[in-house]
Amino acid sequence: MPAVVFPSSPAERTIAVARVVLAATALFAVWLDPAEPEHYAALTYGLYWVYVIYSVVLVFWTTFWTGGERLPIVTHAADILSFSVFQYLTLGPSSPFFVYFIFSMFCGAIRWGWRGTLWTGALVLLFYVGMAASIAQRVPSPGFETNRFIVRIAYLVVTTGMLVYLGRYEARLRLEIERLARWPAPLDRSPDAAIGRMLEYAAGLMQAGCVLAVWEASDEPEVHEARWTPEAASTRSHGPGELSSVIDGSLARSTFISTEPIAETRSILVLESSGRLVKRDGVPIDPTILSQLTGTGLTSAAIATEFVKGRVFFSGLGTAPAEAVLLTEIVTREIASSLDQLHSAEQRQELVAREERIRVARDLHDGVLQGLTGVRLELRAIARERPGSPEV
């Protein structure tokens, strides 16, 4: 489900303050260099004063505004209409106040994300072309500058495209944060089913085609392995010594990434403590582990908790996004926490079972002793009743 962006009070206050600064600057520019044609100068100057007052009122209004959809929509439409009028009065396509339209698209992006940007861009482009057509009819050549008109059309299209891209990028990040917040509980199923569900959820966050987790518990000699692909999920255990080393010891706690096909990987990018990615030749992964990873693109981070240590591998990433390394560490931390909870739950179950066995054994022990004591007393009583019987 796509994330929905709603206008917020802080965003509206920011837009209101920016509007005042922009309006006041434009008013000063109009006063310093009166608008052309000259017979519109007085009208333009007067309308700018009205717009400045309107902008200041909105600053105070948004201070007490508690949210809703009506105010952003009304002010957004008023801004686009006002900017179109101002440009029309100052030679349209050649107007120095073309930046107002860019301001409108940024406001649409802040308020409603990439969809708001797209709709605002289309509306602004329609107004701009319509205004240019009207100006071209009433202003003789060379008053209408065709070159500038074409260049500004390109500005609008490119700016809209970039803002839409950034909006979609933000929406994806917002969705990933929401999905991280809904990380599945590891204790609602059997351990193997819970691990499979957890790795499937992690694969969705990372957009990975394969997830492999290898870990060992502090009080167990075995090394556990869980693998997920869209086709199946599996878990198994390795005996002591079957896996000599999951990864090169020098990178035991490092996070690394590779964008090459798994079979052709010759180097990796290692995340240093300073936050830089440093290239390292070779693939320091056990061949048994590497053979289970498929696709193009690989990223991995270490598991390190009180009871569990190991490593998680994500492969089949395709073109890894810029935040893949950081996301790998966050998702791996969630996996480590879930494995730690599963291990703790198993330990608690073992303790409960052990205490139950001890209790049953104690009850049996006490019951047998009591029964034997009773039999002995009965035998002693019988012996007393019969003279000459041996003492019990």
Beta strands 223-228 and 210-217, pairing class? antiparallel
Which of helix, strand or coil describes residue 228?
strand
pLDDT digits (tens, 9 = 90+) for 69-102: 888 899 999 998 888 888 887 766 777 778 888 8
- Residue in 91, 86, 23 with CA at minimum distance from that of residue 53: 23
> Per the omega criterion (within 30 degrees of 0), is the bond before 142 cis?
yes
Residue 375 backbone phi and psi in degrees, to 5 = -60, -40
374's tokens: 């009773």
Q: Which domains does the chain have, with CATH numbers?
A: 9-180 (no CATH), 189-345 (3.30.450.40)
pTM above 0.95, yes or no: no
* pLDDT above 60: residue 140: no
Are residues 48 and 30 in contact, defined by beta-carbon separation less than 8 angstroms?
Answer: yes
Calculate the CA 212 to chain-centre distance. Answer: 21
Could you tell me if 312 and 337 are in contact, meaning their C-beta atoms sit under 8 angstroms apart? no
H/E segment holding residue 281:
strand 277-281
State the average pLDDT over residues 185-198.
78
- Which strand (E) or helix (H) includes residue 278? strand 277-281
pLDDT at 211: 92
DSSP 151-198: HHHHHHHHHHHHHHHHHHHHHHHHHHHHHHHTPPPTTSS-HHHHHHHH
Per cent of the chain over pLDDT 90 is: 3
First to last CA, the chain: 84
**What is the arithmetic mean of pLDDT over 304-308?**
84
**pLDDT of res. 386:** 62
Mean pLDDT (whole number) for 220-241: 83
Contact 325, 255 (CB under 8 A): yes
Give residue 287's Cα distance to chain centre. Answer: 32
DSSP secondary structure, 33-88, as one string? S--SSGGGHHHHHHHHHHHHHHHHHHHHHHHH----SHHHHHHHHHHHHHHHHHHH
CA distance 26 to 82: 13
- 48: which 2 tokens? 């700018």
CA-CA distance, 386 to 365, in Å (whole number)? 32
Partners of 224 in beta bridges: 215, 237
- What DSSP string runs through 288-317? HHHTT--SEEEEEEEEE-SSEEEEEEEE--
pLDDT over 90 (residue 314): yes
Residue 1: the pLDDT is 41
Output the six-digit token pair for 75: 């002010």
CA distance 73 to 130: 22
pLDDT for residue 222? 82
Q: What is the four-CA torsion angle of 169, 171, 175, 177, rounded to 10 degrees?
A: 70
d(CA 369, CA 375): 10
Please list the residues that pair with 257 across neighbouring strands. Answer: 269, 299
Give me the pLDDT at residue 2, please: 45
The neighbour count for residue 103, using CB atoms within 10 Å, is: 17
Q: Read off the pLDDT of residues 17-55 as tens digits, 9 standing for 90 and up.
A: 988 888 888 777 666 665 555 566 777 778 888 888 998
| Distance, CA of 92 to chain centre | 43
Q: What percent of the chain has pLDDT over 70?
A: 75
Q: Are 296 and 318 in contact (CB under 8 A)?
A: yes
